[in-house]
Amino acid sequence: MIPTTNATGVAARVIDLTKVYGSGQAEVRALDGVTLDLYAGQFTAVMGPSGSGKSTLMHCCAALDEVTSGSVLLGDVDLSTLKDKELTRLRRDRIGFVFQSFNLVPTLTAEENILLPLSIAGGKPDPEWYALVIETVGLADRLTHRPNELSGGQQQRVAVARALASRPSIVFADEPTGNLDSRAGAEILQLLKRSVDEFGQTVVMVTHDPVAAGYTDRVVFLADGKVVEQMREPTAELVLERMAQFAASQSVQG
């Protein structure tokens, strides 16, 4: 399979990104000047304690939330210049999503869910690519089932298939294994990793699980709305170790 973007290219670029909620006394700086490149063809994990701004960062990158200042470039497109209609189209055509829970439309079959972004756009899947995705997620015999007839792991595999079906420039996954047992979680992570390694997809995953981070190519650590550390070729042990250090330094500071 030919990668959709050059492995050394940048899929998304975050420049001096600030996100402030509320104002005055109640002001919260969720992101405080984050600058970051998300490389194409890489599996990136964003980690940090709760309140560190990792979810906000993902939402801003995924055109789900507006930024206060700074900019997000998806490919060549500056998200801050787009209106709601264009942002919607961008999400539909160029971004894939996997959420922690409630990923599927309960009234549609697995197959309809997978094809939903494409059918909303009025398009048809590339048959070869679609066959490949279905085979990869291993759901060929479950396509006519409704979400409530599938296990949590299976549902999440359908969500991954949906995220990949339109061959997006970038897939965002928000705690995709948060609601799963470890075996099902491992399957999902394998799936995401394969999509990067074999199909050249770009995946950005928000997680607080060091094991999940261990599957990725690179980990970005966030704390108090800032990027505090990056780690290449992480393993679960290394990540765990680094997190413990953070926790220690935080408690010393606190």
Partner 1 sequence: MLKVTWRNLIARKLRLLLSAFAIVLGVAFVAGSLIFTDAMGGAFDDIIEGSTADVEIAYEGANDFDSVQDSRVIPASVVEELEKLPEADGVYPSTMLQSVFVIGSDDKVVGGSGPPGLAFNPTEAEAITGKQIITLKDGALPDGPEEVALDVATAEKAGYDVGDTVTLVTPGKPPSMEAELTGLVEFGSGGLNGATLTLFETEFMQDSFFEGKDVYSAISLNTAEGVSQAELAAAAQEVLPKGVVARTGDDVVAKNQAGIDEIMGFLNTFLLVFAAVSLVVGTFLIINTFSILVAQRSRELALLRALGASRRQVNRSVLLEAFGVGVVGSTLGLLGGYLLALGLKALFGLLGLDLAGAEFPVNPSTIIASYAVGIIVTVFAAYLPARRASSIAPVQALRDDTAMPESSLRVRVAVGGTLILAGAASMAAGLAEVGGEVLVEIGLGMLGVLIGVALLSPLIARPVIKAFGALFRPFGTVGRLATENSLRNPRRTAATASALMVGLALMAMMSILGSSASASTDEAIEQTLTSEFVVSNVIGQPFSTDVAEQIRDLDSVETVASLRYANPDVKGGGTAWMGAIDPDDFSDVMQVPMVQGTLAALDEGKVLIASQPAERGGHEVGDKVTLEFQGGDVEVEVAGIIAATGALPAEWLVTQDTLDKGGLAPLDSMLFVTKTPGASTADLREGVEKITEDLPTVTLKDPQEFAEEQKGQINLFLRMIYGLLVLSVLIAILGVVNTLALSVIERTREVGLLRAIGLSRAQLRTMIRLESIVIAVFGALLGLGMGLAFGLALMQALEDEGLTAVVVPWLTLLAFVLVAAVVGVLAAVFPARRAARLDVLRAITTE
Total residue length of the chain: 254
CB of 91: closest distance to partner 1 in angstroms? 5
Q: Considering the complex, state which of residue 77 and residue 108 has its C-beta at the smaller distance from partner 1.
A: 108
Check residue 80 for interaction with partner 1 (CB under 8 A).
no
Residues 148 to 187: which contact partner 1 by CB under 8 A?
A: 162
Token pair recorded at residue 197: 């390694």
Check residue 91 for interaction with partner 1 (CB under 8 A).
yes
Q: Considering the complex, state which of residue 63 and residue 213 has its C-beta at the smaller distance from partner 1.
A: 63
Cα gap 224→34, rounded to integer Å: 11
Element (H or E) spanning 12, and its range?
A: strand 10-21
Cα gap 41→32, rounded to integer Å: 27
Residues 19 to 48: which contact partner 1 by CB under 8 A?
A: none
Q: Which residues pair with 43 in a beta bridge?
A: 203
Q: Which residues pair with 72 in a beta bridge?
A: 14
Check residue 89 for interaction with partner 1 (CB under 8 A).
yes
Check residue 82 for interaction with partner 1 (CB under 8 A).
no
Closest CA to 111 of 157, 179, 168: 157
Those residues with Cβ within 8 angstroms of residue 201's Cβ, 6 or more apart along the chain or in another chain = 4, 41, 164, 167, 168, 171, 195
Q: Considering the complex, state which of residue 40 and residue 62 has its C-beta at the smaller distance from partner 1.
A: 62
Residues 51 to 70: which contact partner 1 by CB under 8 A?
A: 59, 62, 64-65
Q: Which stretch binds partner 1 (CB under 8 A): 74-82, 93-101, 184-192, 198-206?
A: 93-101
Check residue 218 for interaction with partner 1 (CB under 8 A).
no
Q: Which stretch binds partner 1 (CB under 8 A): 41-49, 67-75, 104-112, 235-243?
A: 104-112
111-130 mask for partner 1 (x: CB under 8 A)? Answer: -x---xx-xxxx--------
Neighbours of 60 (CB within 10 A): 26
Cα gap 168→91, rounded to integer Å: 9
- CB hemisphere CA count around 8 (13 angstroms): 0
Number of amino acids touching partner 1 (CB under 8 A): 28
Cα gap 176→185, rounded to integer Å: 8
C-alpha to C-alpha distances, 212 to 55, 142, 235, nearest whole angstrom: 16, 26, 9
Q: Considering the complex, state which of residue 91 and residue 194 has its C-beta at the smaller distance from partner 1.
A: 91
Residues 221 to 250: which contact partner 1 by CB under 8 A?
A: none
Residues at the site binding partner 1, with contacts judged by CB under 8 A: 59, 62, 64-65, 84-85, 88-89, 91-93, 97, 99, 102-108, 112, 116-117, 119-122, 162
